[in-house]
Structure 1
Amino acid sequence: MLHIANPIPADSIRLIVFDLDGTLIDSRKDLAQSINAMLTQMQRQPLPEEIIATYIGDGAGMLVRRALGDPEEEHLVEEGLKRFLDYYREHKLDHTYVYAGVFSSLEALKTMPDGSARAMAVLTNKPIGPSLAICEALKLSPYFFQIYGGNSFGTKKPDPEGLNALIREAGVSPEETVMVGDSDVDVLTARRAGAWIIGCRFGLSSHTLESIPSDCLVDTAAEWATAFNSTSAHR
Protein backbone atom coordinates (compact mmCIF):
# COMPACT_ATOMS: atom_id res chain seq x y z
CA MET A 1 0.00 0.00 0.00
CA LEU A 2 1.39 3.36 -1.06
CA HIS A 3 1.57 5.86 1.81
CA ILE A 4 2.34 9.51 1.09
CA ALA A 5 3.15 11.79 4.02
CA ASN A 6 4.64 14.69 2.07
CA PRO A 7 3.81 14.88 -1.66
CA ILE A 8 7.03 14.92 -3.68
CA PRO A 9 7.06 17.53 -6.49
CA ALA A 10 7.68 14.86 -9.11
CA ASP A 11 7.76 17.27 -12.05
CA SER A 12 10.87 18.96 -10.62
CA ILE A 13 12.79 15.86 -9.48
CA ARG A 14 15.88 15.62 -11.69
CA LEU A 15 17.95 13.11 -9.71
CA ILE A 16 16.97 9.82 -8.06
CA VAL A 17 19.58 8.06 -5.91
CA PHE A 18 18.98 4.42 -4.97
CA ASP A 19 20.35 2.31 -2.16
CA LEU A 20 21.40 -1.16 -3.37
CA ASP A 21 20.86 -3.99 -0.84
CA GLY A 22 17.21 -4.19 0.15
CA THR A 23 16.17 -1.59 -2.41
CA LEU A 24 17.27 -2.65 -5.89
CA ILE A 25 18.39 -6.18 -5.02
CA ASP A 26 17.60 -8.92 -2.52
CA SER A 27 21.07 -10.00 -1.40
CA ARG A 28 20.05 -11.35 1.99
CA LYS A 29 20.87 -15.03 1.41
CA ASP A 30 24.31 -14.41 -0.11
CA LEU A 31 25.26 -11.96 2.64
CA ALA A 32 24.04 -14.34 5.34
CA GLN A 33 25.85 -17.34 3.87
CA SER A 34 29.05 -15.31 3.53
CA ILE A 35 28.81 -14.19 7.15
CA ASN A 36 28.25 -17.75 8.31
CA ALA A 37 31.18 -18.97 6.23
CA MET A 38 33.34 -16.37 8.01
CA LEU A 39 32.00 -17.40 11.43
CA THR A 40 32.65 -21.08 10.70
CA GLN A 41 36.21 -20.31 9.58
CA MET A 42 36.75 -18.47 12.87
CA GLN A 43 35.37 -21.40 14.89
CA ARG A 44 32.15 -19.62 15.81
CA GLN A 45 28.54 -20.71 15.65
CA PRO A 46 26.59 -19.73 12.51
CA LEU A 47 23.70 -17.31 12.95
CA PRO A 48 20.12 -17.52 11.62
CA GLU A 49 19.60 -15.64 8.36
CA GLU A 50 16.87 -13.56 10.02
CA ILE A 51 19.34 -12.28 12.65
CA ILE A 52 22.05 -11.46 10.11
CA ALA A 53 19.51 -9.51 8.03
CA THR A 54 19.05 -7.08 10.93
CA TYR A 55 22.79 -6.33 10.86
CA ILE A 56 22.78 -5.16 7.21
CA GLY A 57 22.80 -1.51 6.16
CA ASP A 58 25.85 0.15 7.68
CA GLY A 59 28.57 -1.38 5.52
CA ALA A 60 30.58 -4.60 5.54
CA GLY A 61 32.65 -3.62 8.57
CA MET A 62 29.62 -3.10 10.81
CA LEU A 63 27.96 -6.24 9.45
CA VAL A 64 31.00 -8.30 10.44
CA ARG A 65 31.39 -6.54 13.80
CA ARG A 66 27.77 -7.22 14.73
CA ALA A 67 27.98 -10.85 13.61
CA LEU A 68 31.05 -11.32 15.82
CA GLY A 69 29.23 -9.83 18.81
CA ASP A 70 31.03 -6.46 18.74
CA PRO A 71 34.41 -7.75 20.02
CA GLU A 72 36.82 -5.39 21.76
CA GLU A 73 39.76 -6.93 19.87
CA GLU A 74 39.90 -4.94 16.64
CA HIS A 75 42.10 -7.56 14.95
CA LEU A 76 39.18 -9.99 15.11
CA VAL A 77 36.99 -7.59 13.16
CA GLU A 78 39.76 -7.08 10.59
CA GLU A 79 40.24 -10.83 10.23
CA GLY A 80 36.50 -11.40 9.98
CA LEU A 81 36.10 -8.66 7.37
CA LYS A 82 38.83 -10.16 5.19
CA ARG A 83 37.35 -13.66 5.44
CA PHE A 84 33.83 -12.36 4.77
CA LEU A 85 34.86 -10.32 1.71
CA ASP A 86 37.01 -13.14 0.30
CA TYR A 87 34.03 -15.48 0.44
CA TYR A 88 31.46 -12.90 -0.66
CA ARG A 89 33.43 -11.92 -3.78
CA GLU A 90 33.09 -15.51 -5.01
CA HIS A 91 29.46 -16.03 -3.95
CA LYS A 92 27.83 -12.59 -4.26
CA LEU A 93 25.60 -13.72 -7.13
CA ASP A 94 24.68 -17.24 -6.00
CA HIS A 95 21.18 -16.21 -4.90
CA THR A 96 21.02 -12.41 -5.28
CA TYR A 97 18.35 -11.08 -7.63
CA VAL A 98 16.69 -7.82 -8.66
CA TYR A 99 13.38 -7.20 -6.90
CA ALA A 100 10.21 -7.52 -8.95
CA GLY A 101 9.12 -4.19 -10.39
CA VAL A 102 12.57 -2.58 -10.31
CA PHE A 103 13.25 -2.59 -14.05
CA SER A 104 9.77 -1.35 -15.00
CA SER A 105 10.06 1.48 -12.46
CA LEU A 106 13.56 2.43 -13.63
CA GLU A 107 12.26 2.58 -17.20
CA ALA A 108 9.34 4.76 -16.13
CA LEU A 109 11.44 7.08 -13.96
CA LYS A 110 14.43 7.65 -16.26
CA THR A 111 12.45 10.26 -18.22
CA MET A 112 10.99 13.49 -16.83
CA PRO A 113 7.33 14.33 -17.55
CA ASP A 114 8.54 16.86 -20.16
CA GLY A 115 10.49 14.13 -21.97
CA SER A 116 13.98 15.15 -20.81
CA ALA A 117 16.32 12.62 -19.19
CA ARG A 118 16.33 12.24 -15.42
CA ALA A 119 19.65 11.34 -13.76
CA MET A 120 19.77 8.20 -11.63
CA ALA A 121 22.56 6.84 -9.43
CA VAL A 122 23.37 4.29 -6.72
CA LEU A 123 24.73 5.12 -3.27
CA THR A 124 25.34 2.07 -1.09
CA ASN A 125 27.35 1.24 2.00
CA LYS A 126 28.43 -2.04 0.34
CA PRO A 127 32.09 -1.92 -0.82
CA ILE A 128 32.38 -0.51 -4.33
CA GLY A 129 33.99 -3.62 -5.90
CA PRO A 130 31.11 -6.06 -5.37
CA SER A 131 28.58 -3.24 -5.88
CA LEU A 132 29.85 -2.55 -9.40
CA ALA A 133 30.12 -6.26 -10.22
CA ILE A 134 26.57 -7.00 -9.03
CA CYS A 135 25.04 -4.05 -10.90
CA GLU A 136 26.86 -5.09 -14.07
CA ALA A 137 25.92 -8.77 -13.80
CA LEU A 138 22.26 -8.04 -13.06
CA LYS A 139 22.04 -5.47 -15.89
CA LEU A 140 21.34 -2.52 -13.60
CA SER A 141 24.43 -0.49 -14.51
CA PRO A 142 23.09 1.10 -17.75
CA TYR A 143 20.46 3.01 -15.77
CA PHE A 144 22.95 4.88 -13.59
CA PHE A 145 25.38 7.68 -14.40
CA GLN A 146 27.29 6.89 -11.21
CA ILE A 147 27.59 4.09 -8.63
CA TYR A 148 29.25 4.84 -5.30
CA GLY A 149 30.03 2.35 -2.54
CA GLY A 150 30.81 2.42 1.14
CA ASN A 151 34.51 2.96 0.50
CA SER A 152 34.12 5.57 -2.26
CA PHE A 153 34.38 8.39 0.29
CA GLY A 154 35.90 8.98 3.69
CA THR A 155 32.46 8.51 5.24
CA LYS A 156 29.46 6.24 4.75
CA LYS A 157 25.75 6.88 4.89
CA PRO A 158 24.08 8.40 6.93
CA ASP A 159 26.80 11.01 6.42
CA PRO A 160 25.52 12.96 3.37
CA GLU A 161 28.95 13.25 1.71
CA GLY A 162 28.17 10.72 -1.02
CA LEU A 163 24.71 12.10 -1.72
CA ASN A 164 26.05 15.66 -1.80
CA ALA A 165 28.68 14.55 -4.33
CA LEU A 166 26.02 13.01 -6.59
CA ILE A 167 23.90 16.16 -6.34
CA ARG A 168 26.90 18.24 -7.45
CA GLU A 169 27.81 15.85 -10.27
CA ALA A 170 24.24 15.83 -11.59
CA GLY A 171 24.12 19.63 -11.45
CA VAL A 172 20.89 19.69 -9.45
CA SER A 173 19.74 21.03 -6.09
CA PRO A 174 18.83 18.95 -3.01
CA GLU A 175 15.19 19.93 -3.55
CA GLU A 176 15.37 18.30 -7.00
CA THR A 177 16.72 15.04 -5.52
CA VAL A 178 15.03 11.91 -4.15
CA MET A 179 16.78 9.17 -2.18
CA VAL A 180 15.17 5.71 -2.33
CA GLY A 181 16.14 3.22 0.39
CA ASP A 182 14.99 0.60 2.86
CA SER A 183 16.52 1.84 6.13
CA ASP A 184 16.72 4.69 8.60
CA VAL A 185 20.28 5.15 7.32
CA ASP A 186 18.88 6.21 3.94
CA VAL A 187 16.26 8.46 5.54
CA LEU A 188 18.92 10.22 7.62
CA THR A 189 21.18 10.60 4.59
CA ALA A 190 18.42 12.27 2.59
CA ARG A 191 17.37 14.52 5.46
CA ARG A 192 20.93 15.67 6.12
CA ALA A 193 21.41 16.52 2.44
CA GLY A 194 18.06 18.30 2.19
CA ALA A 195 16.68 15.76 -0.29
CA TRP A 196 13.37 13.90 -0.47
CA ILE A 197 13.12 10.27 0.69
CA ILE A 198 11.05 7.26 -0.41
CA GLY A 199 11.19 4.38 2.09
CA CYS A 200 10.94 0.78 0.89
CA ARG A 201 9.03 -1.41 3.32
CA PHE A 202 9.92 -4.57 1.35
CA GLY A 203 13.67 -4.29 2.02
CA LEU A 204 16.19 -5.93 4.32
CA SER A 205 16.21 -3.16 6.96
CA SER A 206 12.63 -1.96 6.61
CA HIS A 207 11.99 -2.44 10.34
CA THR A 208 14.18 0.62 10.94
CA LEU A 209 11.95 2.87 8.79
CA GLU A 210 9.52 3.22 11.68
CA SER A 211 11.98 5.38 13.64
CA ILE A 212 12.15 8.34 11.22
CA PRO A 213 9.29 9.47 8.93
CA SER A 214 9.78 9.19 5.17
CA ASP A 215 8.08 11.45 2.63
CA CYS A 216 6.61 8.36 1.01
CA LEU A 217 6.51 4.63 1.86
CA VAL A 218 6.08 1.84 -0.69
CA ASP A 219 5.53 -1.90 -0.33
CA THR A 220 6.95 -2.88 -3.74
CA ALA A 221 9.48 -1.47 -6.18
CA ALA A 222 6.68 -1.21 -8.75
CA GLU A 223 5.19 1.55 -6.59
CA TRP A 224 8.15 3.92 -7.11
CA ALA A 225 6.72 5.16 -10.39
CA THR A 226 3.21 5.18 -8.93
CA ALA A 227 4.48 7.30 -6.04
CA PHE A 228 5.71 9.93 -8.47
CA ASN A 229 2.45 9.94 -10.40
CA SER A 230 0.45 10.10 -7.18
CA THR A 231 2.50 12.90 -5.72
CA SER A 232 2.03 14.91 -8.91
CA ALA A 233 -1.71 14.51 -8.50
CA HIS A 234 -1.49 15.65 -4.86
CA ARG A 235 0.17 18.95 -5.67
Structure 2
Amino acid sequence: MEKNIAFIWDLDGTLFDSYDAILAGLEETYEHFGLDFDRPAIKEYILKFSVKDLIKEVADKEGLDYDDMQAFRANSLREKNAAIHLMPGARDVLDWTVEQGISNFVYTHKGKNTHQLLQNLGIATYFKEVLTADSGFARKPDPEALNYLIETYRLEKDSTYYVGDRLLDVQTALRAGIGSINLVVDTIEKNQKIICLSDILGLF
Protein backbone atom coordinates (compact mmCIF):
# COMPACT_ATOMS: atom_id res chain seq x y z
CA MET A 1 0.00 0.00 0.00
CA GLU A 2 1.33 3.42 -0.98
CA LYS A 3 1.50 6.02 1.74
CA ASN A 4 -0.50 9.23 1.81
CA ILE A 5 -3.20 8.14 -0.60
CA ALA A 6 -6.21 10.45 -0.72
CA PHE A 7 -9.61 10.07 -2.36
CA ILE A 8 -11.77 13.06 -3.28
CA TRP A 9 -15.29 11.83 -3.96
CA ASP A 10 -18.09 13.04 -6.16
CA LEU A 11 -21.52 12.14 -4.72
CA ASP A 12 -24.40 11.78 -7.19
CA GLY A 13 -23.91 8.60 -9.18
CA THR A 14 -20.67 7.86 -7.31
CA LEU A 15 -21.34 7.43 -3.57
CA PHE A 16 -25.04 8.32 -3.79
CA ASP A 17 -27.54 6.30 -5.82
CA SER A 18 -29.54 9.46 -6.35
CA TYR A 19 -30.34 10.03 -10.00
CA ASP A 20 -33.88 8.64 -9.73
CA ALA A 21 -34.61 11.07 -6.89
CA ILE A 22 -33.01 13.96 -8.79
CA LEU A 23 -35.05 13.21 -11.90
CA ALA A 24 -38.24 12.89 -9.86
CA GLY A 25 -37.57 16.32 -8.35
CA LEU A 26 -36.92 17.77 -11.78
CA GLU A 27 -40.10 16.21 -13.16
CA GLU A 28 -42.13 17.86 -10.38
CA THR A 29 -40.41 21.16 -11.12
CA TYR A 30 -41.15 20.94 -14.82
CA GLU A 31 -44.79 20.09 -14.11
CA HIS A 32 -45.10 22.98 -11.65
CA PHE A 33 -43.86 25.44 -14.26
CA GLY A 34 -45.92 23.91 -17.07
CA LEU A 35 -43.02 22.39 -19.00
CA ASP A 36 -42.80 19.11 -20.89
CA PHE A 37 -40.45 16.59 -19.25
CA ASP A 38 -38.33 14.43 -21.55
CA ARG A 39 -36.72 12.11 -18.99
CA PRO A 40 -34.06 10.43 -21.22
CA ALA A 41 -32.91 13.71 -22.74
CA ILE A 42 -32.82 15.47 -19.36
CA LYS A 43 -30.87 12.64 -17.72
CA GLU A 44 -28.35 12.75 -20.56
CA TYR A 45 -28.01 16.53 -20.14
CA ILE A 46 -27.43 16.49 -16.38
CA LEU A 47 -24.88 13.68 -16.71
CA LYS A 48 -22.97 15.71 -19.27
CA PHE A 49 -23.33 19.09 -17.58
CA SER A 50 -25.22 19.66 -14.30
CA VAL A 51 -28.68 20.28 -12.87
CA LYS A 52 -27.78 23.93 -12.31
CA ASP A 53 -26.85 24.33 -15.98
CA LEU A 54 -30.14 22.68 -16.97
CA ILE A 55 -32.28 24.97 -14.82
CA LYS A 56 -30.43 28.05 -16.05
CA GLU A 57 -30.86 27.06 -19.70
CA VAL A 58 -34.56 26.25 -19.26
CA ALA A 59 -35.24 29.44 -17.28
CA ASP A 60 -33.55 31.56 -19.96
CA LYS A 61 -35.33 29.77 -22.80
CA GLU A 62 -38.80 29.84 -21.22
CA GLY A 63 -38.56 33.31 -19.64
CA LEU A 64 -38.85 31.90 -16.11
CA ASP A 65 -37.17 33.03 -12.90
CA TYR A 66 -34.06 30.92 -12.27
CA ASP A 67 -34.15 31.40 -8.49
CA ASP A 68 -37.82 30.39 -8.31
CA MET A 69 -37.12 27.23 -10.29
CA GLN A 70 -34.10 26.33 -8.20
CA ALA A 71 -35.97 26.92 -4.93
CA PHE A 72 -38.88 24.72 -6.01
CA ARG A 73 -36.53 21.98 -7.23
CA ALA A 74 -34.46 22.06 -4.03
CA ASN A 75 -37.57 21.75 -1.87
CA SER A 76 -38.86 18.91 -4.00
CA LEU A 77 -35.56 17.05 -3.77
CA ARG A 78 -35.35 17.48 0.02
CA GLU A 79 -38.68 15.71 0.28
CA LYS A 80 -37.12 12.79 -1.60
CA ASN A 81 -34.08 12.34 0.65
CA ALA A 82 -35.43 8.98 1.80
CA ALA A 83 -35.25 7.73 -1.79
CA ILE A 84 -31.49 8.35 -1.94
CA HIS A 85 -29.29 5.40 -0.97
CA LEU A 86 -25.61 4.54 -0.97
CA MET A 87 -24.20 3.01 -4.13
CA PRO A 88 -23.42 -0.71 -3.80
CA GLY A 89 -20.13 -1.23 -2.00
CA ALA A 90 -19.81 2.39 -0.86
CA ARG A 91 -19.67 1.71 2.87
CA ASP A 92 -17.31 -1.25 2.43
CA VAL A 93 -14.91 0.86 0.40
CA LEU A 94 -15.04 3.71 2.93
CA ASP A 95 -14.39 1.26 5.78
CA TRP A 96 -11.43 -0.09 3.82
CA THR A 97 -10.01 3.41 3.38
CA VAL A 98 -10.10 3.88 7.15
CA GLU A 99 -8.25 0.59 7.67
CA GLN A 100 -5.62 1.63 5.12
CA GLY A 101 -5.19 5.16 6.47
CA ILE A 102 -6.50 6.76 3.28
CA SER A 103 -7.83 10.32 3.61
CA ASN A 104 -11.30 11.05 2.20
CA PHE A 105 -12.80 14.31 0.98
CA VAL A 106 -15.89 15.31 -0.99
CA TYR A 107 -16.23 17.75 -3.85
CA THR A 108 -19.73 17.86 -5.30
CA HIS A 109 -22.01 20.24 -7.19
CA LYS A 110 -24.76 19.37 -4.71
CA GLY A 111 -25.88 22.21 -2.45
CA LYS A 112 -27.18 22.56 1.10
CA ASN A 113 -28.80 19.13 0.95
CA THR A 114 -25.37 17.49 0.97
CA HIS A 115 -24.51 17.52 4.67
CA GLN A 116 -27.93 16.28 5.74
CA LEU A 117 -27.71 13.39 3.29
CA LEU A 118 -24.24 12.43 4.50
CA GLN A 119 -25.61 12.37 8.05
CA ASN A 120 -28.74 10.45 7.05
CA LEU A 121 -26.71 7.80 5.26
CA GLY A 122 -24.27 7.49 8.15
CA ILE A 123 -21.08 8.38 6.30
CA ALA A 124 -20.42 12.00 7.30
CA THR A 125 -17.58 11.05 9.66
CA TYR A 126 -15.48 9.47 6.91
CA PHE A 127 -14.58 12.83 5.34
CA LYS A 128 -12.04 15.41 6.47
CA GLU A 129 -13.76 18.15 4.48
CA VAL A 130 -16.84 18.38 2.27
CA LEU A 131 -16.99 20.98 -0.51
CA THR A 132 -20.35 21.70 -2.14
CA ALA A 133 -21.87 24.14 -4.60
CA ASP A 134 -22.17 26.55 -1.65
CA SER A 135 -18.44 26.51 -0.84
CA GLY A 136 -17.70 29.32 -3.29
CA PHE A 137 -15.37 27.57 -5.71
CA ALA A 138 -15.54 27.70 -9.49
CA ARG A 139 -17.59 24.85 -10.90
CA LYS A 140 -16.19 21.78 -12.61
CA PRO A 141 -14.19 21.31 -14.73
CA ASP A 142 -12.32 24.22 -13.12
CA PRO A 143 -9.92 22.55 -10.65
CA GLU A 144 -10.08 25.35 -8.06
CA ALA A 145 -11.80 23.22 -5.39
CA LEU A 146 -9.45 20.28 -5.89
CA ASN A 147 -6.45 22.61 -5.79
CA TYR A 148 -7.73 24.02 -2.49
CA LEU A 149 -7.88 20.53 -0.95
CA ILE A 150 -4.46 19.59 -2.35
CA GLU A 151 -2.84 22.73 -0.95
CA THR A 152 -4.70 22.84 2.38
CA TYR A 153 -4.06 19.21 3.28
CA ARG A 154 -0.70 18.93 1.47
CA LEU A 155 -1.95 16.04 -0.63
CA GLU A 156 0.51 14.35 -2.95
CA LYS A 157 -0.73 14.68 -6.50
CA ASP A 158 0.65 11.35 -7.65
CA SER A 159 -1.34 9.51 -4.98
CA THR A 160 -4.53 11.60 -4.92
CA TYR A 161 -7.58 10.55 -6.93
CA TYR A 162 -10.90 12.12 -7.82
CA VAL A 163 -13.58 9.43 -7.89
CA GLY A 164 -16.58 10.23 -10.10
CA ASP A 165 -19.02 9.09 -12.75
CA ARG A 166 -18.89 11.71 -15.49
CA LEU A 167 -16.45 13.04 -18.08
CA LEU A 168 -16.65 16.34 -16.19
CA ASP A 169 -15.12 14.61 -13.16
CA VAL A 170 -12.25 13.19 -15.21
CA GLN A 171 -11.56 16.60 -16.77
CA THR A 172 -11.52 18.24 -13.35
CA ALA A 173 -9.06 15.68 -11.98
CA LEU A 174 -6.71 16.01 -14.94
CA ARG A 175 -6.74 19.80 -14.75
CA ALA A 176 -5.72 19.52 -11.10
CA GLY A 177 -2.90 17.16 -12.01
CA ILE A 178 -4.25 14.21 -10.03
CA GLY A 179 -5.48 10.75 -10.95
CA SER A 180 -9.06 9.89 -11.87
CA ILE A 181 -11.16 6.85 -11.00
CA ASN A 182 -14.43 6.78 -12.88
CA LEU A 183 -17.49 4.55 -13.05
CA VAL A 184 -18.34 5.48 -16.65
CA VAL A 185 -15.43 6.99 -18.58
CA ASP A 186 -12.59 4.95 -20.02
CA THR A 187 -9.84 5.31 -22.67
CA ILE A 188 -8.46 8.51 -21.14
CA GLU A 189 -4.90 8.58 -19.86
CA LYS A 190 -4.54 8.98 -16.07
CA ASN A 191 -8.13 7.74 -15.64
CA GLN A 192 -8.95 4.28 -14.31
CA LYS A 193 -12.41 3.00 -15.22
CA ILE A 194 -14.15 0.79 -12.67
CA ILE A 195 -17.38 -1.16 -13.00
CA CYS A 196 -18.39 -0.84 -9.34
CA LEU A 197 -16.94 0.88 -6.27
CA SER A 198 -15.56 -2.36 -4.84
CA ASP A 199 -13.18 -2.50 -7.83
CA ILE A 200 -11.21 0.27 -6.11
CA LEU A 201 -9.86 -2.26 -3.61
CA GLY A 202 -8.14 -4.11 -6.43
CA LEU A 203 -6.39 -0.98 -7.69
CA PHE A 204 -4.29 -0.57 -4.56
Quick one: distance in 1 between partners of 2:127 and 2:159?
Answer: 17
- 2:133 aligned with 1:145, yes or no? no
Quick one: distance in 1 between partners of 2:7 and 2:29?
Answer: 35
1:65 alignment counterpart: 56
- State which of 191, 200, 204 in structure 2 corresponds to 1:215: 191
Displacement of 1:61: 1.6
Flag the 1:159–1:168 CA change in 2: closer, same or farther, 3 A. Answer: same
Count of matched residue positions in the alignment of Structure 1 and Structure 2: 203
Flag the 1:226–1:56 CA change in 2: closer, same or farther, 3 A. Answer: same
Alignment RMSD (CA, Å): 2.1
- 2:195 aligned with 1:225, yes or no? no
Displacement of 1:24: 0.3
- State which of 79, 82, 104 in structure 2 corresponds to 1:90: 79
TM-score, normalising length: structure 1: 0.78
Task: Name the SS of the counterpart of 2:79 in structure 1.
Answer: helix
Q: Is the 8 A contact 1:17 1:180 kept in 2?
A: yes
Displacement of 1:144: 0.6
Quick one: distance in 1 between partners of 2:13 and 2:178?
Answer: 20
Quick one: distance in 2 between partners of 1:106 and 1:52?
Answer: 31
More helix per residue? 2
Q: Is the 8 A contact 1:60 1:81 kept in 2?
A: no
- State which of 42, 48, 52 in structure 1 corresponds to 2:33: 42
Displacement of 1:222: 0.9
- Which deviations, in whole Å up to 9, do the C-alpha atoms of 1:41-99 show, x marking residues without a partner? 11112332x33322325444213235x386174x53333212211211222x1321101
Q: Is the 8 A contact 1:59 1:150 kept in 2?
A: no
Quick one: distance in 2 between partners of 1:214 and 1:77?
Answer: 37
Larger RCO: 1 or 2 (CA < 8 Å, sep 6+):
1
% identical equivalent positions? 24
Displacement of 1:219: 0.5
Task: Name the SS of the counterpart of 2:74 in structure 1.
Answer: helix
Unpaired runs of at least 5, structure 1: 1-9, 202-208, 229-235
TM-score, normalising length: structure 2: 0.89
- 2:105 aligned with 1:121, yes or no? yes
Quick one: distance in 2 between partners of 1:111 and 1:70?
Answer: 49
Q: Is the 8 A contact 2:59 2:66 kept in 1?
A: no
Flag the 1:223–1:211 CA change in 2: closer, same or farther, 3 A. Answer: closer
**Range 93-102 or range 54-63, more displaced:** 54-63
Flag the 1:216–1:154 CA change in 2: closer, same or farther, 3 A. Answer: closer
Unpaired runs of at least 5, structure 2: none
Quick one: distance in 2 between partners of 1:55 and 1:151?
Answer: 22
Quick one: distance in 2 between partners of 1:56 and 1:219?
Answer: 21
Q: Runs of at least 4 residues of structure 1 off by over 6 A?
A: none
Quick one: distance in 2 between partners of 1:175 and 1:17?
Answer: 13
Task: Name the SS of the counterpart of 1:154 in structure 2.
Answer: coil
- State which of 168, 171, 174 in structure 2 corresponds to 1:185: 168
Quick one: distance in 1 between partners of 2:96 and 2:137?
Answer: 33
- Which deviations, in whole Å up to 9, do the C-alpha atoms of 1:11-57 show, x marking residues without a partner? 14521101000100111111111101111111112332x33322325
